[in-house]
Structure 1
Amino acid sequence: MILRTWSARATAEGADAYRRYFEGVLLAELRRQLGFQGAHLVAGGADGAPDRELMVLTFWESYEAIRAFAGEQLDAAVVEPEAQAVLTEFDRTVVHREVLAVGGP
């Protein structure tokens, strides 16, 4: 399994708007992708802080599945205009890591 990570920053209001976009739009699109295995949206910075760091973690079956979603430039971030509109800054690239083990309760 491959972990794909991407980071952005937003105001507190923008972070909430991005969460709604993530839950209402992005997850639906990702779920249509063959090889997609899950996603998390996490935030840094205290709730109520003036701005927050956002990180999207997506899990993929293979690099081929990522390529079908993101295109030939695997390291290029896919950030739709609707998402860009609520962010103050965002990474133009992503990082991939191989998942070696998975744990849980």
Structure 2
Amino acid sequence: MGIISRHWKGIAKPDEEENYINHLRQDTFPKLRGINGFIEAFILRKTTDRGVEFLIVTHWQSMEAVRQFAGEAAGVAVVPLAVQAMMVEYDEEVAHYEIVGGESRSE
């Protein structure tokens, strides 16, 4: 199996946007960097009528690496209580995809 791409979405309250980004940078991402098999993470956002929608995409070397972060029920979202309080709504499950191809610009 190739690289695993893990996707999770949530809509933050408008006044919690920066708090959520700070939580990711100061709490979640340092934990991810400590997991063998973690590759990278991306924060994507767009403004909606209900708040700021975030799509968090992480890449992993294997599902075993994902389970080191998420536990045995790897399809269940990891949403700490502090983050739940920042959200209007959020996915309780995540989606995993196997990366089978792609392209990037070479410099």
Q: TM-score, normalised by structure 1?
A: 0.90
Local SS of the residue matching 2:86:
coil
> Is the contact made by 2:20 and 2:83 (CA closer than 8 Å) also made in structure 1?
yes
Correspondence 1:18 to 2:20: yes
Correspondence 1:43 to 2:51: no
Give the Cα–Cα distance (whole angstroms) in 2 for the partners of residues 72 and 87 of structure 1: 25
Correspondence 1:96 to 2:57: no
The structural deviation recorded for 1:11 is: 2.0
Give the Cα–Cα distance (whole angstroms) in 1 for the partners of residues 83 and 104 of structure 2: 31
Whichever residue aligns with residue 53 of structure 1, its letter is: E
> Is the contact made by 1:15 and 1:54 (CA closer than 8 Å) also made in structure 2?
no
Correspondence 1:73 to 2:68: no
1:8 aligns with 10
Q: Unaligned regions of 5+ residues in structure 2, if any?
A: none
Q: Unaligned regions of 5+ residues in structure 1, if any?
A: none
1:87 aligns with 87
Q: TM-score, normalised by structure 2?
A: 0.88
Local SS of the residue matching 2:44:
strand
Whichever residue aligns with residue 72 of structure 2, its letter is: E
In structure 2, which of residues 23, 29, 32 is the aligned counterpart of residue 30 of structure 1? 32
1:46-75 residue CA offsets vs partner (Å, 9 max, x unmatched): 7xx661111100000001111121111111
In the comparison of the two structures, how many residue pairs are matched? 103
> Is the contact made by 2:11 and 2:50 (CA closer than 8 Å) also made in structure 1?
no
> Is the contact made by 2:8 and 2:91 (CA closer than 8 Å) also made in structure 1?
yes
Distance 1:101 1:89, change over 3 A: same
